Amino acid sequence: MILLLGLSALLFVQIPLAPSQTGTATGVIRSMSGAPASGVRVAAQALTDSTAGIGEGALVSLTQTDSEGRYKLENIPPGRYYIQAGLVDLPTYYPGVTTTNGARSIQIAAGAVLERMDFTLALAPGVRVSGRVPLGAVRPAMVRMTGGSRPAQMNMAMVQVAPDGSFEFLRVPPGNYTLIATPTNSLPNLPLVVADKDIDVGVPTGPGVKVSGTVGLGPQSPRPANQKVVFTGSTAWTQVEASVSSDGRFELPSVPAGTYALRTVPGSLTSQGSVVVGDRDVTGLIIPAFVELTGVVVLQDGLKLPAFSPALMIQATPAKGTTLATAIRDGVFRFPVVEGEYRVSMGNLPDGIALQSIFFGSTDLLSTPLKLDGSGELKEIRVTMEQK
Amino acid sequence: MKSALLFLSTLLLATLQAPPTPNASLSGRLKGSSGAVSAPGPVSGSVAIGTLGYRDGRRVFQSNGSAQADALGNYSFASVGPGEYYIRAESLPTRGIPTYYPGTADIDSATKISVGPGQEIVGIDFDASSPPTFKISGTVRGIPASTATTGLTNAILGMAFASTDSRSPDPSAGPLLQTTRGGANGEFEVSLPAGEWDLFPVIPIRQAGAPTPGAAGGGAVGMPIYATGRARVRLVDRNVENVVITVGSADIKGRIVIPGSPQGEFVPPVPIRVTLLPDGNYPSPLVSHLRTPQSVGTAGEFVFAAVPPGRYVFQILPIPSDHYLADMRVGSKSIYDDGVITVATEPVDPVEVVLRRGGGGVRVTVRGQDSAAAVGGSLRRIVVMPVEVRRENALLYRTVFPGSFPFVVSALAPGRYEVFAFQELPPGGAEQNAEFMAKHEDFGVPIDVGEGQTVDVQVPWIPAGK
């Protein structure tokens, strides 16, 4: 899945020799903080004067450190080697240097066991960068990571997004990167600084407070099953979420300080509101519900509405915010909006067609705003047109 | 005067300080309909938003972005610039054949969506239902024996297909169809909805990166090559059996000749490259090795290897500025009128393309020159279009950006033309699209160009967007 891993696998050489004809090296790898470094790749790298007929730079043995930082490189053909640990492209060489100039080589003889080849990593062994694309956002198929401290180092690492929206890059060297979602219109690019700690780009960091509230402005607000409320943080990649109960309540036990855009899933593509979280619990937060309005358009004389291109559109303009619009198709339309107050109107009408009325139940929407506040049953929007 | 200046400066300031146009969003749902073969409900697939444009003179759908529908069939575009768009869905139930909003395969029946600045367009729901399909079965003959080296158990990788409708903006629609009957004797069976289709068996004969067999010149190395054939099938309301597709290909060898060059030498004033473009609806993977421009050799020679059956036109990049296309021959037969070379299963005679220095010219002015000064768009073009029997020969067209008027277009092959002045010509060879030009026929001014003559002509501007 990760191109770097594929590349490193190509560098390895299989040498089929009996154990008595090969040597072993063991030791302990410590991280830059001095603690035992677990899960770090360790390898023996051949020198030019190797007697085993192995090309210079070939990695002839590979292992990983255990939970106490210990490693054991076995089946090393006789010859001269560097011991290296960490990333393939940014290794630390025994006794703890970043280039072969300062590295100390070791001679492996048949049957020899070299112990206590301990050293401390001079470079971070790479970290895990993981995340989860926001629920309800356009779901990217892939996530790319570009950049790094060397141009060729990580310029094309790409992982698939799992069905639950999660993704993961392993052993990412320190450096400056950009996360790019594909298709690229699904999420904005995210700059990322990788140091020596794993990064979870999907979770806001810092101590959190409890945030609770209700979805819907009134008792009859729509509350679909399996609804979630999503708080999106300072970047579109960062989110916390909670399930919404059948009576519309939700609670997030720990939300770090920050400004969050609020959405429900299923729900609107754009924000249904925002909240600023500080150092105190937030209670009684009310998020307007997502309402699936439907409607029908008829001609006064009962004739079928002809197809128009561009499509005939109905608009709903809130007191504050973005104008919503939907297309009429075969005389019907679906108009998903967020609870609120809207002025409903027609978009541009083609020649020969005039608007006669727009009703929501018995409410004349040409003279009265559409109020969606959960206080009553949802009704169909009925638009009547006439031919001029 | 002072107030006029003030107004102008205010206008300028307003232009400079205008905030960027806010982008809109657009969302909707893919769904099956109750009247379809597939069950009603959400449909997964991908959705693209785009406009109609041109490529090599053919009308094509140009995607501005795409999105994957989620498990509930919902899709959305978060950042859409203002404009009028077609929305196109490709889903498994439709065999990957594009469906345009609100649910038609015919883009001329599709409904455009008008998107305003900052608007949130919602509820753009699609019918992406599975249409009834019919089986097409038969035999592929003449499968090359050398395909055994590819290690494939069945030499036919699958069937590509394309609509025969020349107005379709998706000439190579759909994914490769897997044949459900894969006998070693070349039997095949695939399913498609009603319509008239060209079927192309896809038979790999060279992996990507391998050298081109028998090819001279560069450019084609690295592209995979497939053997193929073509059968036209019309599906109405029943299965079609016993379709025979004969696989074949031919190498096209030829040379570019510039009279006056030293004998035996080819001395073009600029490096020349050639490509071969299918004149029709060939699925692009089958001819991608021909579309790769190749430099002509030191004697002007070129070779296109493994050209599948079909009609092709040459593209010469570039025709030197003071030269014109003087002749095109295949063997002893002239193809100068339409520039089309036809490939079947037999060898093709050598091709000779003659470029000659000189020709005639046209000195163009436009009516209403004063207003012309204001028409400074980068898409304004003068088009000199060959007419009558030479109308189809793309190498005889001249499309140029006029800096100022009068504007001289030189090095025209002697013959009859019509001259057009577009304030805004869609890019991609719209002027070679007969349907597009038919809408502007009344604006064309006919001229006759003779060798060594420069003809004066005054043409009307064709307004932008017309």
In this structure, the answer to whether residues A145 and A195 fall within a common structural domain is: yes
Domain boundary among A200, A221, A241: A200
Which chain A residues have a beta carbon less than 8 Å from that of B70? Answer: 139
What lies within 8 Å, CB to CB, of A333 at 6+ separation is: A294, A295, A296, A297, A314, A326, A327, A381, B123
Domain count for chain B, please give it.
Answer: 4
CB-count exposure of residue B226 (10 Å: 0-12, 13-18, 19+): buried
Neighbours of A90 (CB within 10 A): 20
- Give the count of alpha carbons within 13 A of B131, CB side only: 20
- Cβ neighbours around A63 below 10 Å, total: 18
Q: Classify residue B7: in a domain, yes or no.
A: no
Lowest mean pLDDT among A27-36, B302-311, B362-371, B383-392: B362-371
Residue among A269, A323, A334 minimizing CB distance to B78:
A269
Angstrom distances, CA of residue A303 to CA of A298, A329, A341, A352, B15: 7, 15, 32, 14, 46
pLDDT digits (tens, 9 = 90+) for B92-148: 767 678 889 998 888 888 999 999 999 999 999 988 777 788 999 999 988 877 544
| Residue A252: predicted pLDDT | 94
Q: Give residue B330's pLDDT band: very low, low, confident or very high (50, 70, 90).
A: very high
Q: Pick the range with the lowest mean pLDDT from A62-66, A288-292, B221-225.
A: B221-225
What is the distance between the alpha carbons of residues A181 and A234, in angstroms, rounded to a whole number? 17
Which residue, B246, B263, B294, sits at the end of a domain?
Answer: B246
Average pLDDT of the residues in A138-159: 67
For B430, the domain range is: 360-462
B138 & B233 share domain: yes
In Å, how far are B44, B166, B310 from B40, measured between CA atoms?
A: 12, 32, 41
Contact B107, B169 (CB under 8 A): yes
Mean pLDDT of the B395-400 span:
93
d(CA A25, CA A38): 17
- Whether B457 shows a pLDDT value over 60: the answer reads yes
Does B143 share its domain with B241? yes
What is the per-residue pLDDT for B379? 82
Beta bridge partners of A64: A41
Clarify whether residues B329 and B403 are in a common domain.
Answer: no
Which pTM does this prediction carry? Answer: 0.73
A185 — pLDDT class (breaks 50, 70, 90): low
- The CA–CA distances, whole Å, from B174 to A18, B127, B133, B160 equal 55, 17, 14, 8
User: Are A324 and B114 inside 8 Å of each other by CB?
Assistant: no
CATH number for the domain harbouring residue A213: 2.60.40.1120
> CB–CB of A327 and B124 under 8 A?
yes
Question: Which residue's entry shows tokens 């040597």?
Answer: A23
Q: Are residues B342 and B364 in the same domain?
A: no
Q: What is the CATH number of the domain that holds B339?
A: 2.60.40.10
Q: What is the CA radius of gyration of chain B?
A: 26
Restricting to A residues 243-302, those with a Cβ less than 8 Å away from any Cβ of B are 266, 268-270
Range of the structural domain that residue A87 is part of: 3-120
Residues A344 and A265 in one domain: no
What is the tens place of the pLDDT at every residue in B4-26? Answer: 433 333 333 333 444 566 789 99
Q: Which of A150, A179, A200 is the last residue of a domain?
A: A200
Q: Name the CA dihedral angle for B281, B388, B53, B30, rounded to a multiple of 10 degrees.
A: -50
Supply the pLDDT for residue A342. 96
How high is the pLDDT of residue A217? 94
Q: Give the domain-ending residue among B357, B385, B407.
A: B357
**Domain boundary pick from B357, B391, B406:** B357
Residues B347 and B424 reside in one and the same domain: no
Residue B16 lies in a domain: no
Measure the CA–CA gap between B67 and A184, rounded to whole angstroms. 9
Return the SS3 of A7.
helix
Note whether B68 contacts A: Cβ–Cβ < 8 A. Answer: yes
Q: Is residue B14 part of a domain?
A: no
**Per-residue pLDDT at A90:** 76
From the list B348, B387, B382, the residue with the least C-alpha distance to B365 is B382
Residues B282, B319 within the same domain: yes
B residues 80-99 closer than 8 Å to A (CB) = 84
Domain annotation covers residue B164: yes
For residue B123, give the nearest of A141, A186, A335 by CB distance: A335
Q: In which residue are the tokens 């937060």 written?
A: A285
Q: Render pLDDT for B236-245 as a digit per residue (tens, 0 to 9).
A: 999 999 999 9
- The mean pLDDT value for A292-316 works out to 87
Beta bridge partners of B417: B386, B447
Q: Are A187 and A174 part of one and the same domain?
A: yes
Q: Does a structural domain hold residue B6? A: no
Query: Phi, psi (5° rounding) for residue A181?
Result: -85, 145
A267 and A284 together in one domain: yes
**Judgement on whether residues A166 and A239 belong to the same structural domain of the protein:** no
pLDDT level of residue B345 (50, 70, 90 thresholds): confident
Q: Which residues of A touch B116 (CB under 8 A)?
A: 323, 325
Tell me, yes or no, whether B148 and B240 share the same domain. Answer: yes
Who wins on pLDDT, B316 or A160? B316
B41 falls in which pLDDT band (50, 70, 90)?
Answer: low
B190 domain-assigned? yes
| pLDDT above 50: residue B216 | no
Residue A377 reports pLDDT greater than 70:
yes
Residue B159 maps to which CATH number? 2.60.40
Task: Decide if A357 contacts A342 (C-beta within 8 A).
Answer: no
Return the CA Rg of chain A. Answer: 31
Question: What local confidence, expressed as pLDDT, does residue B261 receive?
Answer: 72
Q: Which two tokens stand for residue B168?
A: 């379709």
Same domain membership, residue A266 and residue A341: no
Q: Give the nearest partner residue to A183 out of B67, B109, B112, using CB atoms.
A: B67
* Burial annotation B185-222 (CB, 10 A radius, 16+ → b, else e): ebebbbbbbebebbbbbbbbbbeeeeebeebebebbbe
Q: Does B102 touch chain A (CB under 8 A)?
A: yes
- A356 and A345 within one domain: yes
Q: Do A239 and A159 share a domain, yes or no? A: no
Reported as type and span, the H/E element at residue B362 is strand B360-366
Q: Are residues A284 and A296 in the same domain?
A: no
Whole-number Å distance between alpha carbons of A215 and A247: 9
Bond into B406 cis (ω within 30) = yes
The sheet carrying A249-256 orders its strands as A249-256, A208-215, A282-287
Residues B46 and B117 in one domain: yes
Look at chain A and report how many structural domains it folds into.
4
Q: What's the CA dihedral at B50, B123, B33, A386 to 10 degrees?
A: -100
Residues B353, B260 within the same domain: yes
Query: Is A228 within 8 Å of chain B by CB?
Result: no
The pLDDT mean for chain A works out to 83
Same structural domain for residues B374 and B344?
A: no
Would you say residue B18 lies in a domain?
Answer: no
* Residues B255 and B241 placed together within one structural domain of the fold: no
Asked if B118 and A334 come within 8 Å (Cβ–Cβ), the reply is: no
One domain for residues B268 and B335: yes
Question: What pLDDT, on the 0 to 100 scale, is given for residue B19?
Answer: 52
The answer to whether residue A309 neighbours chain B at the CB level (below 8 Å) is yes
pLDDT at A361: 92
d(CA B253, CA B348): 8
Q: What's residue B17's pLDDT?
A: 45
Query: How do B45-55 and B83-91 pair as beta strands?
Result: antiparallel
pLDDT value at B303 more than 90:
yes
Burial B6-35 (b: 16+ CB within 10 A, else e): eeeeeeeeeeeeeeeeebbbbbbbbbbbee
How, if at all, do strands A79-86 and A91-93 pair? Answer: antiparallel
With respect to residue B445, please indicate whether it lies within any of the assigned structural domains.
yes
Query: DSSP letters of B248-282?
Result: B-EEEEEEEE-TTSPTT----SS--EEEEEESS--
| Longest Cα separation, chain A | 100
- Does pLDDT of A153 surpass 80? no
CATH number of residue A367's parent domain = 2.60.40.10
